[in-house]
Structure 1
Amino acid sequence: MSALKTLFKQTFIYGLATVLPRMLSFLLVPLYTTNGVLSSVSEYGEVSVIFSYFVLFNVVLAYGMETAFFRFFNKEDDKNSVIGTSAISLIISSIGFFIIALLCQEEIASLIHISAKYINLVIWILLLDALVIIPFAWLRATQRPMRYAVIKILNVVINLGLNLFFLLALKDLATPESIFKGIYRPNFEINYIFIANLVASAVTLLLMLPFYVKVNYEFNSELWKRMMKYALPVLIAGIAFSINETFDRILLDYLLPKDIAKTQIGMYSACYKLALFMTLFATAYRLGIEPFFFSHAKTENPQKNYARILEFFVALGAVILLGVVVFADILKPIIVRSEDYWEAMWVVPIILLANFCLGIYHNLSVWYKITDRTKFGAYISIIGAVVTLVINLGFIKSYGYKASAIATLVAYGIMMLLSYLLGRKYYPIPYNLKKIGLYLVLSILFSGLSFYQFRANYIVGISMLIVFLGVISFSERNQIKQLIKR
């Protein structure tokens, strides 16, 4: 139980570092979807496409080195060599990318269908974000969650504050006699969004400079080769994951007629944000359990703790799934302000369930991470990416963003099942399938009925939620009592 106590403590702090900042940045969604801030739904669609490329390039620039750092930091006796080697590797690769990208920015803009006026800002942001990957990993590996949390929160507070200033206040302040007159530029809103992001990333790197001052810059080529061997499958899995997560926006942009593509993407991306509650929970949980998986791999009977962790995750995730679905139409006008976006609300339960499956997959992935079989993670993610691409390419032209939502659910569902089946062979964990299955089936059934049959009927929806909470409370009564006592 002490191991679980440590997990929940770390998850809570990392949750603050993830959930609270993203809840602050969540305010950007109602900001961007408020009439008059961005000129149209299609403009928000353009922002969404650019951020989709951010996800893909962030994965490429990290190339699995963060996960490799965790593995070798816990495995190697010479931890300074691990820190120095990984830091030097990221510095050289990031600066190399930066130089090449700056020289080829016009070609890049033409290739990925993004206006050249945004590319320069995007390149700088990618560089700054890449340079803090190892410092953040070091904070997590050395059990410094508070500093990690403070810097992460500050990053998003700055980003949010500058967005509010540029998109709301600056226009009013830019009077003829104001000093802000020279700053404000009409129809410059998308640039302002990325300028805010750039400043936040620069401040984050500045706060991480003490790490680079203390690093022992000693490059161990033999260690680097072993780290890269471990990291490359993670990179492949990361690219596949980014395809599953955001590539649908890029495909929508390519496959739909140009006159409706950005509008469809804008509606889809805005309503997709209602699934953020599940994403936040799953991300915070993952940040807590990843160091936990490695540090407890050599303890006596770690499989028992891993099994209980998944039970807790499924129970909490099922409550979030049903709760958000029941109150979706109450949350809708708070988060997605303009009715112009609401046509895509159909995807909300599907995306919530998809992210729930992804969270379960991350919990199940313990088997290949601690047994150094990361290639299986790559295989599973590649299969998921193939499913995503096949469904999107086959059905976007007929069904638009609905095909993208279903593709996400099918891909994550298959990844979850494959990880469980392979894990049972290579690293058996005694999961309580009856309990987990009960939570999953009941929450999915109630969510489907609530949204598609009894939508906005809160008597029915809340009744289902109460019944489900009762089932979990009864099933987990002993565990809940122990946690409360501790």
Structure 2
Amino acid sequence: MNPLKKLAGETAIYGISTIIGRLLNWLLVPLYTKLFIPEDYGIVTNLMSYVAILLVVLTYGMETGYFRFASREKESDTTFSTGFISLITTSFLFWIVIAGFLNPLSVFFDVPTNKSFIVLLALTLGFDAITALPFAKLRQENKAFRYAGLKLINIGINLGINLFFLVLCPWIYHHFPEVPITKVWNPEFGIGYIFLAIFVSSFINLLLLLPDILKVKLCLDRKLLLKILAYSSPILVVSICGTLNINLDKMIMPELIPESQNPLYQTGIYGANYKLAVIMTLFIQAFRYSFEPFFFSQSKEQNSKQVYAEVLKYFVILGLIIFLGVMFYLDIVKILIDTRYHEGLGMVPYVLLANLFFGIFFSLSLWYKLTDKTRMGAYIAIIGAVITIALNVLLVPIFGYMGAAYAVLVCFVSITVISYIAGQKYYPVPYDLKRILLYFLLAAILFVVAGYIPLENEWAKMAAKTPLLLIFIIVVIQKEHLWHSLGKIVGIKGKGNK
């Protein structure tokens, strides 16, 4: 099978499940922004940013290590079993630590009267870490449909619990006071139901994965574990720094913005508008799920480097189409969040581009993973984290949440450039840099032109931007000689209609 078609097919499966799941989940964003004031949503944003970091720490690069060694070892089950036992052990140790420091942690996160928030998130993190390798095994075995199905179940449960406690219970409480709904629902728990939902869905995921886990005889190969950890420890640094680059702004924003400017309010505005980059995030997430096991398996082929070059080019093309699409139709996209949050829409293009460069950086990262120079990847990631911290400390007190948006874009552009230069030295891939830069330039020109369309009516303005998006797509089709492929698709459909 054509490797690009295989990658595209698996990306589509992961993408469809991720898109459907995230869209269902995204129904909650307008709900949250309507039910909770920005200060309360700021607490959710702040806590969830720590969750993202801790999940990376608790999985410590084991997924990438599993992909690398499962493709080498004769017994991939031994690789899975060894990594799985390691993750279970560290998850239990994490729970013990959280239990011991629960009181100071609740004070640190400004939820001293809601320690249950911390407990629910800690349990969720442990379950997610334990299920990380079973999910990686499904990806490694190309069981994309099962992977996608489990993820959809997870999102569906999350959505259902949110709607039950945040919509149905309050409605029953106000319209049918005779129903004793307060026996299962506490109106004071508020944002705690967000954390309860992710805990329950995570636990059920673990239960659903038990058949896959129990198929493998669990045994620990200590020598193999040491090899995996030696390979994966720099990946852990890369992952931590990458997650920091995305989430650090939300973590430290309340500390950097003066109290007079309402830091939790600004954090809530930033968190809500950051999520308007959801389409780009979904695309990158689907690509990452399929690309990592793909490039490890593809590395044995003769034309692997040419394939990697083609993958990056088409990834950039699709990413730029998403960027233009979101920005040209932002007046539609913005309805996902309440009007109280619309003041932050100016940060959306910076966040979209930052996510695109994050995806490019991930695509380029194959060079240090395939050459076992993961330590080099760690150095680059650390540089990115330093840039993120420095720019946030410098810009956020001056520009507020816009400073954080500038910082995340500069960070990902910088580490992408550094990774490209280093990669060409240690594992040269013939990326079509001229063509990629041409597409970036064209997208930038069209974006600027769209900003000067002299129309007041939002719908008329969006209609006027549509030809600009079509221009980009037509140029791509022309440059990549895709007319023949499109003709074949049309021809097939035509024959089917006959």
Aligned to 1:240: 241
Q: Deviations over 1:406-449 (max 9, x none)?
A: 00000000111111111111111111122111111111232244
TM, length-normalised to structure 1: 0.95
1:323 and 1:290 map into 2 onto residues whose CA distance is 27
Is residue 207 of structure 1 aligned with residue 208 of structure 2?
yes
1:33-63 Cα offsets, whole Å, 9 max, x none, are: 12xx22x111111111111011011011011
C-alpha contact 1:322 1:444 (8 A) present in aligned 2? no
What is the aligned partner in structure 2 of residue 132 from structure 1? 131
Cα distance in structure 2, aligned partners of 1:452 and 1:232: 49
Change (3 A) 1:69 1:467: same
Indicate yes or no: 2:116 matched with 1:122: no
Partners of 1:127 and 1:65 lie apart in 2 by 14
Residues 322-361 of structure 1: pairs in structure 2 closer than 5 A:
322-333=324-335, 335-336=336-337, 338-361=338-361
Name the residue aligned to 2:33.
Answer: 33
Matched residue, 1:216: 217
Q: Distance in 2 between matches of 1:451 and 1:158?
A: 41
- What is the rounded CA distance, in whole Å, between the counterparts of 1:419 and 1:482 in structure 2? 34
1:217 partner SS: coil
Partner Cα distance (1:255, 1:239) in 2: 21
2:71 match: secondary structure: helix
CA contact (8 A) 1:325 1:450 kept: no
Change (3 A) 1:220 1:454: farther
> Structure 1 residue aligned with 2:59, among 62, 69, 75?
62
Q: CA RMSD in A?
A: 1.8
Cα distance in 1 for residues equivalent to 2:487 and 2:72: 31
Structure 1 residue identity aligned to 2:138: L
Indicate the residue corresponding to 2:191 in structure 1: 190
* Aligned residues of 1:167 and 1:192 also touching (Cα < 8 A): yes
Inter-CA distance 467–185: structure 2 relative to 1 (3 Å threshold): same
CA distance in 2, matches of 1:197, 1:258: 31
Q: 1:86 aligns with which of 78, 83, 86?
A: 83
Letter in 1 for 2:2: S
Q: For residues 110 and 188 of structure 1, what CA distance do their matches in structure 2 show?
A: 17
Partner Cα separation in structure 2 for residue 51 and residue 134 of structure 1: 22
SS in 2 for 1:178: coil
Q: Gapped runs of 5+ residues in structure 2?
A: 493-498
Residue 289 of structure 1: aligned partner: 291
1:256 is the counterpart of 2:260: no
Is the contact made by 2:139 and 2:290 (CA closer than 8 Å) also made in structure 1? no
Tell me, yes or no, if the aligned pair for 1:173 and 1:181 is still in contact at 8 Å: no
Q: 1:79-122 CA distances to partner (integer Å, 9 max, x unpaired)?
A: 12101110110010001111121121112223344443411111
1:441 to 2:441 alignment: yes
Q: Tell me whether 1:432 sits opposite 2:429 in the alignment.
A: no
Q: Rate the CA distance shift 1:463–1:16 in 2: closer, same or farther, 3 A.
A: closer
Larger CA deviation: 350-359 vs 10-19: 10-19
Query: SS state of the match for residue 195, structure 1?
Result: helix
Separation in 2 of the partners of 1:99 and 1:482?
58
Q: Residues of 2 paired with 1:451 and 1:169: CA distance?
A: 42
Aligned residue for 1:300?
302
CA distance in 2 between partners of 1:313 and 1:276 (Å) = 17
Per the alignment, residue 141 of structure 1 pairs with 140
For residues 481 and 294 of structure 1, the distance between their equivalents in structure 2, rounded to whole angstroms, comes to 28
User: Residue 158 of structure 1 aligns to which amino acid in structure 2?
Assistant: I
Change (3 A) 1:292 1:29: same
1:102–1:123 Cα contact (<8 Å) kept: no
Residues 483 and 70 of structure 1, relative CA distance in 2, 3 Å threshold: farther
How far has the Cα of 1:177 moved from its partner?
A: 2.6
Structure 1 window deviating more from structure 2 (270-279 vs 178-187): it is 178-187
Q: Distance in 1 between matches of 2:280 and 2:124?
A: 27
Distance of 1:121 and 1:308 partners within structure 2: 43
CA distance change for structure 1 residues 461 and 479 in 2, over 3 Å: closer, same or farther?
closer
Cross-structure match for 2:19: 19
Give the SS at the match of 1:173.
helix
Residue 371 of structure 1 corresponds to 371
Instruction: Tell me how far 1:483 sits from its aligned partner.
Output: 10
Residue 73 of structure 1: aligned partner: 70
Q: Indicate yes or no: 2:97 matched with 1:100.
A: yes
CA separation of 1:70/1:96 partners in 2, compared to 1, >3 Å: closer, same or farther? same
Runs of 4 or more, structure 1, over 6 Å off, are 452-455
Contact 1:353 1:409 in 2 (8 A): yes
Equivalent position amino acid for 2:156 in 1: V
Q: 1:477, CA displacement in angstroms?
A: 2.8
Kept in 1, the 8 Å contact 2:477–2:483? The answer is no
Secondary structure at the residue paired with 1:33?
A: helix
Shift of 1:454: 6.3
| 2:470 paired with 1:471 | no
Distance 2:476 2:66 in 1: 37
| SS of residue in 2 equivalent to 1:470 | helix
SS at match of 1:131: helix
- Quote the Cα distance in structure 2 between the aligned partners of 1:423 and 1:479: 33
Map Cα deviations across residues 269-298 of structure 1 (whole Å, 9 max, x no partner).
Answer: 111111111111111112111111000101
Deviation track 1:162-200 (CA, whole Å, cap 9, x = no partner) reads 111111111122344324231222232211111111111
Q: Would you say the 8 A contact 1:166–1:192 is kept in 2? A: yes
Q: How many residues align?
A: 481
The 1-side partners of 2:400 and 2:161 are apart by 34
TM-score, L = length of structure 2: 0.93
Unaligned runs of 5+ in 1: none
Q: Distance in 1 between matches of 2:178 and 2:99?
A: 37
Paired AA for residue 6 in structure 1? K
Name whichever of 111-120 and 210-219 sits farther off. Answer: 111-120
Q: Aligned with 2:217: secondary structure? A: coil
Match for residue 399 of structure 2?
399
Q: Which amino acid aligns with 2:134?
A: P
Q: Report the Cα distance in structure 2 between the residues aligned to 1:464 and 1:257, rounded to whole angstroms.
A: 41
**How far, CA to CA, are the matches of 1:480 and 1:44 in structure 2?**
50
Q: Higher mean Cα deviation, 265-274 or 449-458?
A: 449-458
- State whether structure 2 residue 422 is matched by structure 1 residue 422: yes
